[in-house]
Chain A
Amino acid sequence: MFTEFFYILRKVGVPVSPTSFLRLQKALSKGLINSVDDFYTSARAILIKSERYFDLFDQVFAHHFKGVELTAPTGVDLAEAAKALLDAWLKDPQAIADALGIDEDSLSKLTPEELIDYFLERLKEQTEAHHGGSKWIGTGGTSPVGHSGYHPGGMRVGGRSMNKSAVKVAMDRRYRDYSQEGLLTRQHMGEALKRLRNMVPTGPKDQVNIDETIYQTMKNAGEIEIVFDRRLKDRLKVILAIDNGGWSMDPYIDVVQSLFDYSRSQFKDLKTYFFHNTIYDYVWEDPPRRSKPFQVDEFVRMDPETRFIIVGDASMAPYEIMATDGSIHIEERSGKPSVERLRLLADTFRHSAWLNPKLSVEWPYTRTINVVREVFPMFEISLDGLEKMVTHVMSRN
């Protein structure tokens, strides 16, 4: 039963496993499901394993049981985007006006409602005109709206389903907010990085060393002698510096994101910094690289045993790395070429590595990659490369 439903779910990209589908059949055959409502809740609980897919599930459910059309960007989505635009407008009218190429003054005369309408029009034009092109309503980039943009409504509230039919609930698409195109965590990445740990005995001596206790007790002619040890704890410090700027890194956002997600959950003592292309006087603690600058000189004061890992494609114009004042950001004028900064870091942290999302076969063709490779040992972000990187930063010398 409902095989077609199952396959539509798979087709739209919801990871549903046959096992869970069989389980749903079991629930059906046991007579646990007696209405469409029951089916909706049970199917969701059994088949869907992440709230990210709740929204898609709702859509498919409405489509399958009510014939609601499956569409990508709906009017509602546009309305939300328009709202986001309005909000951004209120914060910084100049920037929005620039981004849309319209006159700030003429917009400021409109009422909020008119403004929303105006934005809606613009957005519609744009979605029609730019399907998959270099859209300005996109993820990342300089666009003021989009996935990573700010959501004015806040987290939408699910509420109760008591007086509504399941189809209606599904049509409401209550879970839209959770569905923002998530990335799959890379299981392998975890496997490869698992060996990045440094177990050190710390804390009070509160763990009984049984073997030693028995041995000492024997030596003591049976008089009990309990031997305590310190606990082993992972004390590995990791600094992750991520290149999150510019177009050149865009194709790799996926893979870097999962690397970052994984490390954040894995390492107790992880600091993350962001930079664009290469490192000058500052790195940033916030991803937009605006509010929390961190002086590179400060790194010198950190524990030299920290594992310093840079993630970036190291691809840029040669002058950016070689010339004094090479930064493409006009406000970054340091008087030192970036390569010297990188050398400082490499000297400070003896366990350091550069992870490059580009395939290693492409490296020789980019000049700046070669420059960086002279400073940092470079590894590609692949199962193999990560493995090698771990071996390198964990080696004793």
Chain B
Amino acid sequence: MHGAEQVTRFTGGTHYVLDEELAKIVNITMALEMPLLLKGEPGTGKTMLAYAIAESLKMPLIVLNVKSSMKLIDALYQYDTLTRLNDSRFGDSSRDVSKIEDYIKMGKIGQAFVSDERTVLLIDEIDKADTDFQDDMLDVLDQMEFDILEIDKTMRAQQRPVIIITSNAKKDLSDPFLGRCNFHHIAFPDPDLMREIVQVHFPDVSQELLDAAVNAFYRLREFKEMEKKPATRELINWIRALNADPDFRVKELTKGDIPFLGVLFKKSPDYALAQRYVSRSRL
């Protein structure tokens, strides 16, 4: 094990409450130099984790937002033919038209590879892409190198990036893919942890509001037949909304009144259902 890695131990960020289990997993993943695949309900902080790691280890963060139409090559590099064509016609740039390398632009994975310092590479929502993309990408990340066909050059990673991959999918990713990752499922936080999380985001929130909001939140999560239950992200936004409203009194919450339901429930059937539940509980 390198000395440098001993120092780079991850303990949590300023805006991220880390449970110890996850911290261990992140550390062991970094030591084993493997990608970490995170699954969990939307809004439980999968993406935030990568930000927190980058922040606490002071590494630059490179985010690759996966889109369904994305091809692997887009994530690696791009050969800018048009600029080259333009330069060859007008010749007013400092680039050398006969040198194709000048027209190769690095994609997100490419950037992480050529970077001189170790980076955190976040590959967000991998499940959006098709399986071919996923498997091919893992090959690249496994080998830590890829070829640029146009200039017949192999790019090697200078520093092995810390790779975090997130997935919302209910279904499993392909076996070869899973075989190359470490895996963690972020469970939904319990009320105590949730209080901590809220406090990290709102350091000066009053205890009264905190308790009332978290209680109400967990009560709302228990509503049956919701398509999408509110998650941490919704709670944070909701408290922000409550704070911003000058007319809001904490007492309303304890009475069973829930303002700004729309912040918590974003699908219209859920919203209607929640409203019905709330008005019923108030009676």
Contacts and interface: CB of A to CB of B under 8 A. Distances in A.
Given A17-B179, A20-B179, A162-B20, A50 B187 contact: no
A251 interface: no
Nearest to B194: A157
Contact of A161 (B21, B178, B181): B21
Contact of B178 (A50, A210, A224, A233): A50
B24 interface: yes
Given A45-B28, A161-B19, A185-B171, A51 B39 contact: yes
A57 B190 CA distance: 22
B185 A41 contact: no
A54 B21 contact: no
Contacts of A54: 185
Interface residues of B, number: 43
B151 to A, nearest CB: 17
B25 A41 contact: yes
B116 to A, nearest CB: 26
B25 to A, nearest CB: 4
Interface stretch (A26-34, A347-355, A385-393): A26-34
Contact of A19 (B37, B179, B187, B222): B179
B29 interface: yes
A213 B85 contact: yes
A223 B85 CA distance: 10
B31 A30 contact: yes
B34 interface: yes
Nearest to A264: B171
Contacts, number: 112
B28 A27 contact: yes
Interface residues of A, number: 51
A23 B193 contact: no
A112 interface: no
B12 to A, nearest CB: 13
Interface string B81-95: 110011001000000
Contacts of B85: 213-214, 217, 224
A46 interface: yes
Nearest to A265: B171
A377 interface: no
Contact of A42 (B28, B86, B131, B175): B28
A355 B185 CA distance: 36
B187 A32 contact: no
Interface in A261-281: 261, 265
Given A17-B179, A50-B178, A45 B188 contact: no
A187 interface: yes
A45 B184 contact: yes
Contact of B171 (A38, A160, A261): A261
B100 interface: no
B56 interface: no
A156 B69 CA distance: 36
Given A37-B24, A184-B172, 11 more contacts: A23-B32, A27-B32, A41-B21, A41-B24, A42-B28, A48-B183, A158-B189, A159-B190, A159-B193, A160-B19, A210-B81
12 contacts: A19-B179, A27-B31, A45-B183, A49-B178, A50-B178, A51-B185, A160-B193, A161-B20, A174-B187, A185-B171, A217-B85, A224-B89
